[in-house]
Structure 1
Amino acid sequence: MLKHTAISVMIYSCLAITAVGQHRADRQSLEDPGSFSMILLGDPQGYIKYDINQPLFELQTAWIADNIDNLNIKAVLCTGDLVEQNDNIVMNRNMLNQTSREMWENVSRSFARLDGKVPYIISCGNHDYGYRSSENGKTRFPEYFPVERNKKWYDCIVAAYPNREGNESLENSAYVFESPEWGRLLVVCNEFAPRDEVLEWTRSLIDRDEYRDARVIYITHSLLNERDAARTDNEGYLISPHNWGQQVWDKLIYPSRNIVLALSGHEGEVGDFENSIAYRVDENSTKRKVHQMMFNVQTLGGGWEGNGGDGWLRILEFLPDGKNVSVKTYSPLFGISPATKHLAHRSAPYDRFKMTLE
């Protein structure tokens, strides 16, 4: 009898510990139970280039995995720059303490928490190409992120286009998500500074009959500056051929009738939160509004050599009215502790707002 009682006490103790753990994870909830969400991650390179920062990015992906059901997460969107340097064995200890292989292995391990649970869509950045920063179009991305690693991609990927080395890769790829309220959403990501043929592939894809009525979310690494939300142009990277943000707008986004949201990262300065974000709305050639959002928070938490971004991410809640998206800026790093939980949500107008995707 005493033995049975002791076992019961142990079981109840374990359940209590589990419950406490779930509270510490600071699960979030939707504004409307009929919504679904997508999570937006800014450039991870600041987390990945230092071993002491790497657990912070893993905390983000662990938090996402823990919130898939209660936030009804359909996809995770990442603006790129997964690593600080794509292919370099000589470390500049003033700015990192990891080799390229160590960085790729770590960022791959962090995303592994989402494999088999939710699709994640990554637009590779300038630091993901060349040796240190896009001296050429070589990348190790396909080596670490083949489509076979996450079978959740199988359910939604509808197209892909060869990368700069001529290989099929998720660098240029498209995914379909559907709901009764929103109909069909097509998410398309492009490589950094996409080539003309990539822009033409994207334009032809979204013009197909099956996608002409879809609303398109487009992701590329470089589109907006942080200072005035002007489009990027005349960047000094050697990668070629290329199109910067202004050319991407002129050649793809403006002429296309159904791109309603364009996401990017890349830009940012040390300073306040406003230095890490940008947002603007313009009409395309059919007078349809295109929302454009830049989100790259890697300098928050101590600057370029700080902790990588204080855990900030964005929750994009697609409301069941089929047209409005509620944007919230949240940090699981602050949210996980009772001592800092009050800092976990940003409430400025540029941090918490709604977009109407016509």
Structure 2
Amino acid sequence: MKWCALLLMVMLSFSTYSQSSFEFVVIPDTQTYVEEFPDIYMKQMKWVASQGKRFSFVLHVGDITQNNSDEEWQIARKGLALLDGKVPYHLALGNHDMGSRPGKFADTRNSSLANRYFSYNNYAKNNNIIASFPANQIDNSCAEYVLIKLSWLVCSLEFGPRDKTIAWVKSVIKNHPQHRVIFNTHSYLYEDNTLQDGDDWYLPQGYGVGKEEGDEQVNHGGQLWNKLVKSTPHSIMVFSGHILGTGVGQLVNQNDNEKNVYQMLANYQKNVKGVERGDSGYLRIIKVDKAANTISVKTFSPWLNKYKTDPEHEFSFTEVDL
């Protein structure tokens, strides 16, 4: 009887723990992996798929491909297909994932190859998608989850989200007023731990898509914060990539509801400082722990089977109010 009572206590303890926390993966820009090191990219995807039900979902911050070519999208699809039916994934298309032809980076907002290799019906079915913009395309999407007894929206937004894209995602959030919101987009935070603004490199306004006007006007990180993230009452986290240099950054600001929003940049590909050949294969593991009021971040490479433990790669946010 004592053993039964002990077993019951352990089971109850595990149940309480599992209901108070969840983990998900953030995959930084894979463009040079898909172009030059496909074995590393496949190792990332195989590792995520092998983790069973450990992860609630996966975010890809964009620049899935380098040259927006058929060959690279075939590799991208082959890797992410390993996750189908195992763990949902959400894609934020980057500047290298759109354009009039391969090698033309975001000269136009042409995402036809991305939508060919990730058909909307299959993408929505496997990934809890409840809304998309434009309709029936993967360019922008929101997914719904119930985790740690709270409702969540995970919204993945295009490179340089347009004013009309912001209007669309605001309407989705308005229809889900009690949902906590995680934003996933390609270009947002800069390597100096500040929101992108007019003084920074790599702004969406510097590409062909950035020349449009009216509701097609694009937004950099600071504009996206002011027009969308700041005014979202339950905004919790924002993830992005795109920036080279150190490839990492973090920022905590309060939204209009006086809640902290945890914003993170991660990029570990070729040409990032400290990455010799672009073959590191690092990704981020995020743990949200409601009981401990923390959001913790670890950086792990399935290819190297190694963690990065420097403070800019492994850290925690405390006193998190969900």
One fold, TM greater than 0.5? yes
- 2:238 pairs with 262, 282, 304, which one? 262
More strand by share: 2
Give the corresponding residue for 2:5. none
> 2:75 is matched with which residue?
106
Q: For 2:250 and 2:160, how far apart are their aligned partners in 1?
A: 20
Aligned to 1:8: none
Gaps of 5+ in 1: 1-31, 87-99, 270-274, 336-343
1:45 and 1:308 in contact (8 A); partners too: no
Q: Take 1:216 and 1:309, find their aligned partners in 2: how far apart are those partners?
A: 32
> How has the CA–CA distance of structure 1 residues 320 and 245 changed in structure 2, closer, same or farther, with 3 Å as cutoff?
closer
8 Å contact kept, 2:84–2:126: no
* Cα deviation, residue 83, structure 1: 1.0
Question: Which residue does the alignment assign to 2:4?
Answer: none
1:138 paired residue among 103, 110, 115: 110
SS at match of 1:202: helix
Residue equivalent to 1:276: 247
Structure 2 residue aligned with 1:84 = 66
Residue type at the aligned position of 2:282: W
CA distance in structure 1 between the aligned counterparts of 2:40 and 2:253, rounded to whole angstroms: 35
The answer for the alignment partner of 1:317 in structure 2 is 287
Deviation of 1:350 after TM superposition, in Å, equals 2.0
SS in 1 for 2:208: coil
Structure with greater Cα Rg: 1
Aligned partner of 1:127 among 96, 100, 104: 96
Matched, 1:64 2:48: yes
Aligned-partner Cα distance in 2 for 1:216–1:311: 27
- Note the alpha carbon deviations across 1:100-129, whole angstroms, 9 max, x for none: 111111111111111121111010000111
CA gap of 1:244–1:36, structure 2 versus 1, over 3 A, is same
Is 2:139 the counterpart of 1:171? yes
Deviations 1:181-206 (A, max 9, x none): 34111100111111111101111211
Distance apart, 1:67 and its partner CA: 0.9
Q: Match of 1:345, as an amino acid?
A: Y
Q: Equivalent residue of 2:45, what SS?
A: helix
Question: Do the aligned residues in 2 keep the contact of 1:222 with 1:232 (CA within 8 Å)?
Answer: no
Q: What is the TM-score when the length of structure 1 is the normalising length?
A: 0.75
User: Which position in structure 1 is the counterpart of 2:267?
Assistant: 296
Distance 2:106 2:223 in 1: 18
The aligned length equals 288
Per-residue Cα deviation, 1:143-199 (whole angstroms, up to 9, x for no partner): 011133357536x2111110xxxx6212211111113x3411110011111111110
Q: State whether residues 182 and 323 of structure 1, in contact with CA within 8 Å, keep that contact through their aligned partners in structure 2.
A: no
> Do structure 1's residue 354 and structure 2's residue 316 form an aligned pair?
yes
- The structure 1 residue matched to 2:57, chosen from 55, 69, 75, is 75
Report the secondary structure of 2:152's partner residue. Answer: strand
| 1:46 pairs with 2:21 | no
Q: Which amino acid aligns with 1:236?
A: G
Cα contact 1:157–1:175 (8 A) shared by 2: yes
1:64–1:108 Cα change, 3 Å = same
1:332 corresponds in structure 2 to 302
Contact 1:316 1:328 in 2 (8 A): yes
Tell whether 2:156 aligns with 1:198: no
Q: Which residue does 1:213 correspond to in 2?
A: 178
Matching of residue 251 in structure 1 with residue 227 in structure 2: yes
Q: What whole-Å deviation, never above 9, does each CA across 1:60-118 have from its counterpart, x for those lacking one?
A: 0000011133xx211010000011122xxxxxxxxxxxxx1111111111111111211
8 Å CA contact retained: 1:261, 1:357: no
